[in-house]
Amino acid sequence: MVVSNPREIPEYELNPLELQFRKSDESGKNVALNGDLGSYLQKKGRLSPSKALRLALDIARHNFPSCISSGVLHVNFLVFRGMNYLHECKPEPIIHCDLKPKNILLDSGGQLKVSGFGLIKLSKISPDKAKLPQPGSHVDPSSLYVAPEVYKDEIFDRSVDAFSFGLILYEMIEGVPAFHPKAPEDVAKMICLERKRPPFKIKSKSYPPDLKELVEECWDPEPVVRPIFSEIIVRLDKIVANGSKNGWWKDTFKFPWYASLTIYLLKPCVLIVDIEESMSIPRSLV
């Protein structure tokens, strides 16, 4: 069903268990017009602190307004979810488990969309804990962004996504992946087994100390130390506010979408969607 009048658009409560491994529909192709974050960082190198913060907020936040096109909210159930939105879904959080630059897409407006859910299968241990089944998990253990618990095939929780997020934020700040130019499999071993962390080589005046502290907490070996994404967003917003107040960043945060996103920060897991005729919705979703 396709509707043109927003008043005719039906409302569905999304079931995270049904959506966790659902592959993106055709509308998902529109969000990757500018490739992925991995390719972007290879091309651009080190980002300015303001740019890195803006993209970090894209990943962490529920990025709702950017889904709206010509007055119609198109459905791509998973790509349009920020990490906080996934982790706050009820009754159970959705754990990505394979967050990395290649799984973060750039849309035509330069905003980031989290993707890469379709290949991951998790065995639920409890409402907030999971484990990778063997075989067929499709998580590359040589990925330098994978959390130690995943690398060592242990039970994990949503903090594994915060771990990956910290390494991604580090890469945006430094311009290269952790321990570059070492091979990814060697880096994964250093991080997950030897508990080593890459040094911050960029001069500290280039970014606030609060940002470095946040990165270090995200990649802490102990899952309980890692902040949840709702806290990450609050801290990133505070860093942005302080930077803007001090006149450090005069361009990145003038975009209209940035201010408008605040009211959507912790929206409940209910979405008004435009359902395409070619897409079937399982009865358990409605």
Specify whether 128 is catalytic: no
Cβ atoms of residues 217 and 224 within 8 Å: no
Higher-scoring residue by pLDDT: 20, 137: 137
* pLDDT at 11 > cutoff 50: no
Cβ distance 123 to 131 under 8 Å? Answer: yes
**Out of 15-24, 43-52, 64-73, which region has the weakest mean confidence (pLDDT)?**
64-73
Sequence-ordered list of residues with C-beta below 8 angstroms from that of 254, at least 6 positions apart, any chain? none
Confidence (pLDDT) at 269: 33
pLDDT digits (tens, 9 = 90+) for 64-113: 433 333 332 232 333 334 788 778 876 777 788 889 999 888 877 777 88
pLDDT at residue 233 above 60?
yes
Element (H, E) at 105: strand 104-106
Alpha helix (H) residue ranges in the chain: 16-19, 37-44, 49-60, 83-87, 148-151, 159-174, 184-192, 209-218, 229-245, 256-261
Model pLDDT for residues 236-264, shown as the tens digit of each residue:
988 888 877 776 665 544 443 344 343 33
Asked if pLDDT for residue 163 goes beyond 90, the answer is yes
The reply to whether 285 falls in a domain is: no
**Per-residue pLDDT at 153:** 86
284 within domain boundaries: no
**Exactly one of 98, 220, 237, 274 is catalytic; which is it?**
98
Among 1, 223, 233, 20, smallest CA distance to 116 is for 20
Q: Which domain holds residue 26?
A: 6-278
Amino acid letter, residue 88: E
Nearest alpha-carbon partner for 116 in 100, 131, 132, 129? 100
Q: What is the pLDDT of residues 170-225, one digit of tens each?
A: 999 999 999 999 999 999 999 999 999 999 987 766 678 899 999 999 999 999 99
Residue 80 sits in a domain of what CATH number? 1.10.510.10
User: What is the rounded average pLDDT for all residues in the chain?
Assistant: 69
Name which of 56, 93, 29, 23 is nearest 238 in CA terms: 56
- State the total domains in the chain: 1
- Check if the beta carbon of residue 144 is closer than 8 Å to that of residue 38: no
In this predicted structure, which of 37-41, 104-108, 149-153 has the lowest mean pLDDT? 104-108
Residue 285 predicted with pLDDT over 50: no
Q: Tell whether 286 is covered by a domain.
A: no
- Residue 61 pLDDT greater than 70, yes or no: yes
This prediction's pTM? 0.71
